[in-house]
Structure 1
Amino acid sequence: MRNLILPFILLLTFVFSCRENDIDDGLEKKTTSYDLYVAGTENNQACYWKNTIKTILPGGTNYAASTIFFDNNNLYILGVDRTALSNGTNYSFWKNNVKFDVATYLGISANTPTIQNFTMSNFFVKNGDLYIAGLMKNPAPTSSQNLYQYCHWKNGVKTIVFEQNSYQTSASMHLIGNDIYIPLENNITVSNTVPTTWDLGYYKNNTYHFVSTLSNFLNIYEDNGSLKLLVMDQNNQTVYYKDLLTGTTSPSPAFISYSDYSYSLQTDGNDKYFVGREKYYKNNIQHSVYSPASNFKYLNSFKVLDNNIYKILHTDDITGVNYNVYINDVIVQSATNSSNNINTEFFNLTVVPQ
Structure 2
Amino acid sequence: MKAYSCLMVIALLAACLWSCKKDSSPKNTGTNGTTGTTGATGTGSTTDTTKTTLKTDVYYVGFLNKNQTTGGNRAELWKNGVLTSLSNIISSASNIWVSKGNTYVCGYEGIAVSTHAVYWKNFNYSTPLTDGSEYRSIANDITVQDSDVLCVGDVIDHTGYKAVFWRNQKMTVLTNNGDASRILVKGSDIYIAGAYTDAKGNSFACYWKNGIVHKLSARAQATGIAIDDNSNIYVCGTQNNSPIYWKNDVMTALPKTTKLAFANAITTKGDDVYIVGSGEDDPYWGYNHAYCWKNGIPQDFSGGSEADDITIVGTHIFIAGSHAAGLNKYGRLWEDTLIAYLDPYGLTSVFNGLYIDQHY
**TM-score of the two chains, using structure 2 as the length reference:** 0.66
| Residue 116, structure 1, aligned to residue 135, structure 2 | yes
Q: Deviations over 1:36-71 (max 9, x none)?
A: 2333437465443332333333x5343333423312
Q: Select the residue among 348, 351, 354 that pairs with 1:349.
A: 354
Larger radius of gyration: 1
Aligned mates of 1:254, 1:318 — CA distance in 2: 27
Aligned twin of 1:179: 189
Aligned twin of 1:250: 250
Q: Select the residue among 326, 331, 339 that pairs with 1:323.
A: 331
| Residue 303, structure 1, aligned to residue 319, structure 2 | no
Aligned twin of 1:54: 83
Aligned mates of 1:49, 1:231 — CA distance in 2: 27
SS in 1 for 2:132: coil
Q: Deviations over 1:179-220 (max 9, x none)?
A: 344553322546xxxxxx4566655434455556x4424354
Whether the aligned pair in 2 keeps the contact of 1:9 and 1:64 (CA below 8 Å) is yes
Whether the aligned pair in 1 keeps the contact of 2:226 and 2:266 (CA below 8 Å) is yes
Give, as a single letter, the amino acid of the residue that structure 1 aligns with 2:52: K
Aligned twin of 1:286: 298
Q: Deviations over 1:283-329 (max 9, x none)?
A: 455321334xxxx3233444322222333443334474333434341
SS in 2 for 1:335: coil
Larger RCO (CA under 8 A, 6+ residues apart): 2
SS in 2 for 1:3: helix
| Residue 38, structure 1, aligned to residue 60, structure 2 | yes
Give, as a single letter, the amino acid of the residue that structure 2 aligns with 1:128: S
SS in 1 for 2:23: coil
Aligned twin of 1:335: 344
Aligned mates of 1:301, 1:231 — CA distance in 2: 13
SS in 1 for 2:273: strand
- Extract unaligned runs of 5+ from structure 1: 140-145, 191-196, 244-248
Whether the aligned pair in 2 keeps the contact of 1:273 and 1:283 (CA below 8 Å) is yes
- Extract unaligned runs of 5+ from structure 2: 29-37, 44-49, 67-71, 279-289
C-alpha change, 1:285 and 1:333, in structure 2 (3 Å) is: same
| Residue 126, structure 1, aligned to residue 139, structure 2 | no
Whether the aligned pair in 1 keeps the contact of 2:203 and 2:220 (CA below 8 Å) is no
**TM-score of the two chains, using structure 1 as the length reference:** 0.67
Higher strand share: 2
C-alpha change, 1:233 and 1:124, in structure 2 (3 Å) is: same
Q: Count how many residue pairs are aligned between Structure 1 and Structure 2.
A: 308
Aligned twin of 1:226: 232
Aligned twin of 1:67: 95
Percent of residue pairs bearing the same amino acid type: 19
Structure 2 counterparts to residues 149-298 of structure 1, below 5 A: 150-162=163-175, 164=176, 168-172=177-181, 174-177=183-186, 178-181=188-191, 184-189=195-200, 197-198=202-203, 203-208=208-213, 214-218=218-222, 219-223=224-228, 224-228=230-234, 241=246, 243=248, 250-252=250-252, 255=255, 260=261, 262=263, 264-269=265-270, 271-277=272-278, 278-291=290-303, 296-298=304-306
Q: Deviations over 1:60-100 (max 9, x none)?
A: 34333342331222111224325662xx4123322112223
Give, as a single letter, the amino acid of the residue that structure 2 aligns with 1:179: D
SS in 1 for 2:343: strand
Give, as a single letter, the amino acid of the residue that structure 2 aligns with 1:250: V
Whether the aligned pair in 2 keeps the contact of 1:124 and 1:130 (CA below 8 Å) is yes
Whether the aligned pair in 2 keeps the contact of 1:16 and 1:309 (CA below 8 Å) is no
Whether the aligned pair in 1 keeps the contact of 2:23 and 2:353 (CA below 8 Å) is yes
C-alpha change, 1:303 and 1:84, in structure 2 (3 Å) is: farther
